[in-house]
Amino acid sequence: MIMLLSPEQPIRDESAIVMALFKRGLSLFHIRKYRFTDTEMMAYVNNIDHFYRKQLVLHSHFHLANELGIERLHIREEDRKQHKQEAFMTGFTLSTSVHAISTFNTLDAIWDYAFLSPVFPSISKKGYGITDTVLDDLCLRCNSDVRLVGLGGINELNYTEVFTAGADAIALLGAVWNSPKPIQVFDKINNNNFSPN
């Protein structure tokens, strides 16, 4: 399973690229547009074909989810610690983020999956993960109730290592959006994806 996170800054033809990737097998698209107004978020989502609505995940603007027909919400780590997910435990599929395998192992089954990062040094956030990555910690996983999604620095050259280490899925960000040929990068990973999911 391959997921994609939106870029924080606008990319030319962003919606068209997302739809092209859905057609090529993208599983889920995480919308991280924290600075959008409600109107901007509505327009952004409506620029993606309604056929893919159930594959969209909101990181913010949760009050628009029902109106937009979005059933998946991502609760950031700091919000999870404040138990903000409790307002959305009915009617939504929830995911979250963690930065240590020990934290992942304590998550309960209300979470469909969790991002564990950084697996490798980040592509989009320069300097992040240079000295502290979590790839080698995946072998310490003991939580089978929540799917583990590797995030951070994953590209067409190293993604197989993440599956081999025990991740259920991967999430892409910089490898796609920082590339002049984002669709080709996705195709290379997707066409060779040996994950059983």
Q: Residue ranges of the domains in the chain?
A: 2-191
Tokens of 158: 């190293």
Range scoring the smallest mean pLDDT among 86-95, 99-108, 142-151, 185-194: 185-194
Place of tokens 């590209």: 155
pLDDT at 192: 74
Cα–Cα distance for residue pair 125/32, rounded to 1 Å: 15
Segment 130-171, tens digit of pLDDT: 667 899 999 999 999 999 999 999 999 999 999 999 999 999
Instruction: Say if domain 2-191 classifies as CATH 3.40.570.10.
Output: no
